[in-house]
Amino acid sequence: MKLRTHLCTLWIVLPLHTMAKTRTIGVRSLRANMQKILNEARRDNVHFVIMRFGEPVAHLVPVKPRRKRTMEQLEADIAEARRQIARGEWYTTEEVRQMLGLPASKYRRQRIKTSRSYRQ
């Protein structure tokens, strides 16, 4: 990758595994081959510059895949959550809704009273 300034030329060197291929593609070709292009972007880490009448109008870049969690990480997270609950560090649904700026729930949870004969 080469960046030009008024006074000098600056070269940026990146490791090969981080470099992505860049291709230009027209809007019509993108419409005709959308699935193929999306698969190529994801599979081969290809960045596309979408051109319209010879001018770039958009960039299509693959999304970084989510980091897969291992079973050990999940078990550690569950253990930490249990420790937080034991320390009393938890929120009610209404507190979470308030923190997120969501309106209060219209429906409150009500206890259902049952007769003894039904519970037996």
For the chain, domain boundaries: 20-65, 66-103
Residue 120: predicted pLDDT: 45
pLDDT at 89 over 80: yes
Q: Is the pTM above the cut of 0.85?
A: no
Q: For residues 23 and 51, what is the distance between their CA atoms, to the nearest angstrom?
A: 10
Residue 61 corresponds to which tokens in the numbers above? 């870049």
Confidence of residue 107 (pLDDT cuts 50, 70, 90): low
Vertex 31 angle, CA 62 and 47, to 5°: 25
Residue 19: predicted pLDDT: 60
Higher pLDDT: 79 or 67? It is 79
At 59, the amino acid letter reads: H
Q: What are the angstrom distances between the C-alpha of 47 and each of 23, 34, 58, 86?
A: 6, 14, 11, 48
For the domain spanning 20-65, the CATH number is 3.40.1620.10
